[in-house]
Amino acid sequence: MWNQLRLVFVWVLVIAPSCADDPGERDPRLGELGRVKFNGGGGCNGSTTLAAGSTAKMRLEAVDGTLPQDLQITSTRPEVIAARPGDDGDGEDTITLRAVGDGETRVELYTGESLLDWLGFDVVDAASATHEAPDAVLEGGRYVLEVKEIYGEFGEDEPLIGADFMRWDTDPAGAFVLVEDEGRRAQFAASSAGPVTISASDPATGVELLEHEVTVVAVGDAGELSASITVDPPGDEDEVSEPAPPPLTMPEGSLFVVKLTADSPAGEVAIFGEDIEWQVLEGQVLQGGENYSTPEGPIFTSEGAGPVTLRARVALLDAEIEIALDVDEVE
């Protein structure tokens, strides 16, 4: 279940949006020998161009059958892109590409001394980026900004893959403290109430890639908690639901995430998972661990039919909310 959860819900829904490729054209991520697909890497899945200085984590998929156990990876020009197996915790059949310098290279996959497949990649400087982030957050709370797409000098005609290379700044300085920056997800701690501008730039070129304004709301100005739930039902053909408030019903075996917000004069205040304590009061529900979560909180899975009650406590507000669900048995 957790393997499906990680690859389907987190990878597809949160991390790796697809591109609008022409269905009549050859898949740009299919190896030149047609044996392996190179998936992921952040942003547009159809791109084979890395942002200079970035790292792209990719998942390999065999077109037929499974990948060989003795798979080896190499770059024909490691001075442009260094290639190696993925890190521990990335999962099997993953690779890491590091953009070292401008230019082009072939990333080759070998089994023993035989070439299994290869794909060409290149590196260019980033010029702009798009992002998603809430407009308000609690003072003292965590805040997450998601980088969605990174573009080269030709804008939307040149989407880039890769992450972990941006320099983050805030105005006023020190208003947010950067806690973590990994995989196009920057996590901050909000230090003081008031308006803040967050910006990200390319440290090598100095080009500003994005800017976002956010209001840090004092704890005393935050009001009642609300919840919305996103559900991924079991089955390959089911689509992830739009967020909906509880109570709601879902089929047994569903994956779901609960997003909490609080009212305030500045509008809806986002509350992220680091500031929420969860408890299952009733029902058969499993709570995902650190590797099975979204910025909003853990990914739950409904293990058995019947009523479910969750309690979410936000220590910053000294407040809690109970969330009622009903899980239907799947025939």
SS3 6: helix
| pLDDT tens by residue, 183-196 | 999 999 998 899 99
Residue 15 pLDDT class (50, 70, 90 cuts):
very low
Q: What is the pLDDT of residue 288?
A: 80
User: Is the model more confident about 5 or about 49?
Assistant: 49
Average of per-residue pLDDT across 163-176: 95
13 touches 98 (CB < 8 A): no
Q: What is the pLDDT of residue 4?
A: 42
Q: What is the pLDDT of residue 240?
A: 81
Please give the mean pLDDT across all residues of the chain. 89
| pLDDT tens by residue, 229-246 | 999 988 766 578 889 999
Average of per-residue pLDDT across 140-149: 96
Q: Does residue 331 register a pLDDT over 80?
A: no
| pLDDT tens by residue, 275-301 | 999 999 999 999 887 668 889 999 999
Q: What is the pLDDT of residue 13?
A: 42
Q: What is the pLDDT of residue 135?
A: 96
* Domains observed in the chain: 2-124 (2.60.40.1080), 129-147+163-217 (2.60.40.10), 225-328 (2.60.40)
| pLDDT tens by residue, 51-88 | 999 999 999 999 998 999 899 999 999 999 999 998 76
| pLDDT tens by residue, 81-122 | 999 998 766 667 899 999 999 999 999 999 999 999 999 999
Query: For residue 317, what are the contacts with CB-CB under 8 A and spacing of at least 6?
Result: 138, 219, 222, 225, 262
Element (H, E) at 58: strand 55-62
